[in-house]
Amino acid sequence: MGQKVYGNNRIFCNGKFIAGPDVKSCVASTLMILLPSILWQIEVGTFFAERYSIIFPIVGLLTQVGSLVLLFATAMSDPGIMPRQKHFQEYYDSKSKSFRSRQPPRYFETIVRGHPFKVKYCATCNFYRPPRCTHCSVCENCIERFDHHCPWIGNCIGKRNYWLFYSFIMMTGALNVFVLATSIAQVAVVCQEIADEEMVGSGDALLSTVGKVPLAAALIVYDAAVVWFTVGLCVYHNYLICTNQTTYEQIRGFYGSGNPFNKGILANCQDVLCSRVRRRYFNPSTNRILWPSVTAASGGQDARDVKLHEPTSVSISDAVPADNQQVPPMLQEKRYDPETAKTLTYTELCEAYAGRYSRDETRTYWETTMTATH
């Protein structure tokens, strides 16, 4: 088993691959795809290649290999693990000239595009979680845009690997439908031939067909049992993408009063599936911070020691802190009206959370960044 990183996640090949603690369950999923695929090539693929065209086994092979490759890619990818920070008691407060003795407030209320939103302090990872970030109880890490922990893959599904997971379930759903349809077609063709040659009824012909092409019959039973799950999963995640929700958010009913992240179907699809995948926050093998940029003096430091520098690749965000629903003084000083303030994005404030542990420090960081930016 690979080396552990932070919580229960495992790393392989010097940090190139990251998997969950239950990655062995991926073996069962592999067998559930691989064995039927081999049987299909032996029986159904050969039948269609001889009778009709070599295209059928080629299409089958491409979908089978594609499904397995995407399975492994999802299982061995970083879902968006947020770098842990040191315990708050390990940080020295230069103002009070003492080490911190109190944990930061548990919640921090903000407004995201006009909707109230609570940011929670994670006592395990020691930072305020950005919106849509959740601590996985299996991996014991905070995952950016957490969707769910998949027991079939043995890894979390988050911002960085959701597109891989979505591609995997779509490919597997297409494979199930293709195998089921071609297996039914073979049984139907052979059954009709037996009925015509032996002059028997359809029931007797079907029994003879099952004896003649048992692998095709077995594939029909197997795929009929699993196709509802895979296709249903495809439909469900297409719905989530169109509404810009995660599985975790939809099950918990987070957005009963309106989803602040919903931009419309086309924009949601663009955001979830086609947006650029950022690089990892840190190298899991060395714990060195990789993104966003850090101060020059911190080059080569452990990710737990790094204090975030003013982000260069992040835009100012979707919300402002909710202090009695008023615009913060620094926004007033910069002459931002409330409506303009509400359109600011939340990303930069969250980046500050990744390296700060108190409300005051976070506010100071945000004010500094806003002043430098504007």
Separation CA 85–CA 65 (nearest Å): 40
Q: Quick one: 228 exposed, middle or buried, by C-beta within 10 A (0-12, 13-18, 19+)?
A: exposed
Exposed / middle / buried, residue 163 (Cβ in 10 Å: 0-12, 13-18, 19+): middle
| Count of H-run helices and E-run strands, the chain | 12, 13
- Asked whether 139 and 4 are in contact (CB, 8 A), the reply is no
150 catalytic residue (yes or no): yes
| Residue of 133, 150, 191, 234 marked active site | 150
Which structure tokens are listed for 17? Answer: 């691959």
Q: Check if the beta carbon of residue 82 is closer than 8 Å to that of residue 133.
A: yes
Helix axes of 25-40 and 55-75: crossing angle, nearest 10 degrees: 180
Beta bridge partners of 3: 11
Residue 257: exposure state from Cβ atoms within 10 A (0-12, 13-18, ≥19): exposed
Q: How many whole angstroms separate alpha carbon 356 and alpha carbon 308? A: 8
Calpha distance 248→239 (Å, rounded): 14
Single-letter amino acid code for the residue at 198: E
Residue type, 314: V
Residues with catalytic function:
150
